[in-house]
Amino acid sequence: MIVEDERVTAITEHGSVPEDGILKDFGTHFVLPGLVDTHIHINEPGRADWEGFETATRAAAAGGYTCLVDMPLNSIPATNNVDALKEKRAAAQSKALVDYAFWGGAVAGNAASLKPLAQAGVRGFKAFLVPSGVAEFEMLDEAGLREAMPIIAETGLPFLVHAELPHALMKATGNPRQYSYYLASRPDVAELQAIRLLIDLVREYRCRVHIVHLATSHALGDLRAARAEGLPITVETCPHYLYFTAESIPDGATQFKCAPPIRAGFNRDALWNALRDGDIDLIATDHSPSTPDLKQMETGNFQTAWGGIASVSLALSAIWSKARQQDISMFEVARWMSEKPAALAGVTNKGSIKIGLEADLAVFDPDRSWHVTTDHMHFRNKISPYIGERFTGQVKATFLRGELVYEDGCFPLSPIGRECKVEKI
């Protein structure tokens, strides 16, 4: 391909290079479209000690990502109004190594802020149907959904929903150091009932709903039927649900805690099948880091530990390690991790290698075997369930708009990331 002025201008046979061009030959490595992560918690301003734009975007570049769409929590203030969005934008400037955009929050009491946020350039909205874990981001109940959904439908933007219902959560009993203790507290039915509620409301309001981090395979039948009906519903799952199983999580290993939880091996297999069949649209990281004290690594208490998994620098290798075992092609992986997320967020100039699109590229060695250590992470707090795992496949280089931003553990440029702009609504 030929890259000029930040964009792909031609796709040619090997060796067809302009006389004044610089040839880069990556041999047998894959050259992929830069990945797009539509589910990442950067947490700045307010909780940059959890994660900030500098460290999150460095980790993203090391993982082959060239665009991040930041969740409206866990920053302070949460991105629930236009003033908070302005603070987010100010925090990102001159710190981001890759490009970025923002989701807005849909929380109790902020219905009047939804359309102004859309007009100010958010890519859509995020809501929780259970407590989010932070006081500044209040959950929506059914009445709140009914207030927000017609407004969001009018904007045409997607409505991303953490789909668990609080009344279906269980009080945990037993030893809080055992993963089974935590898993029992968030049963599949909590997801299933929330998704069924959302399907009914989508049918009523025709709002574009996106189910984030689907963990249960029990909801796949309902989602398949709703989509066959023509309802505008999309679905994501995450690397940790596709890589780990509940049976393999040791006692006290709170680095595995997330919500919804990692479930059984048969469930993991069903999620992979759903990706292959098109019942799940995309893979997003849900990179949700915190400080070490919040993960309760010393006590190993699943009840009190923060729920969130950090993975943005590791996600592609984790997914490829499992995908290749199932004869899934890298074309499919790139579609799930670049093309489909870009489409969800309306990032029309990224997500594929095509003439006219920005030259965002990831160079990936599909056969490189390596053990994960903290040196590979690059995010702020080096806590992850992937430490010690052996992966096959590794990102070697990442280009943002034609500029090399990562190569073999090094970051050769100062931050050049910028916000992906959107037309006013």
pTM over 0.95: yes
The mean per-residue pLDDT over the stretch 84-97 comes to 97
Q: Per residue in 277-295, pLDDT tens?
A: 999 999 999 999 999 999 9
The mean per-residue pLDDT over the stretch 383-408 comes to 98
Q: What is the mean pLDDT of the chain?
A: 96
The mean per-residue pLDDT over the stretch 377-399 comes to 97
What is the per-residue pLDDT for 410?
97
Q: Say yes or no to pLDDT of 107 above 80.
A: yes
What is the per-residue pLDDT for 15?
58
What is the per-residue pLDDT for 293?
96
Give the other-Cβ count within 10 Å of 265's Cβ.
12
Q: Say yes or no to pLDDT of 57 above 90.
A: yes
Q: How far is CA 317 from the centre of its chain?
A: 15
Architecture of domain 34-339+369-392: Alpha-Beta Barrel (3.20)
Q: Say yes or no to pLDDT of 188 above 50.
A: yes
CA end-to-end span of the chain, whole Å? 35
Q: Say yes or no to pLDDT of 425 above 50.
A: no
The mean per-residue pLDDT over the stretch 130-153 comes to 98
Q: Per residue in 329-354, pLDDT tens?
A: 999 999 999 999 999 999 999 999 99
What is the per-residue pLDDT for 23?
77
Q: Say yes or no to pLDDT of 384 above 70.
A: yes
Task: Tell me the pLDDT band of 307, cut-offs 50, 70 and 90.
Answer: very high
Residues β-bridged to residue 33:
361
- φ, ψ at 268 (rounded to 5°): -55, -45
Task: Tell me the pLDDT band of 424, cut-offs 50, 70 and 90.
Answer: very low
Q: Per residue in 8-53, pLDDT tens?
A: 998 887 656 677 778 788 999 999 999 999 999 999 999 999 999 9
The residue among 424 and 151 whose pLDDT is bigger is: 151
The mean per-residue pLDDT over the stretch 230-258 comes to 98
Collect contacts of 272-280 with beta carbons under 8 A, ≥24 apart: 272/242, 272/322, 272/326, 272/328, 274/217, 274/220, 274/237, 275/237, 275/242, 275/332, 275/336, 276/328, 276/332, 279/220, 279/223, 279/224, 279/227, 279/235, 280/214, 280/220, 280/235, 280/236, 280/237
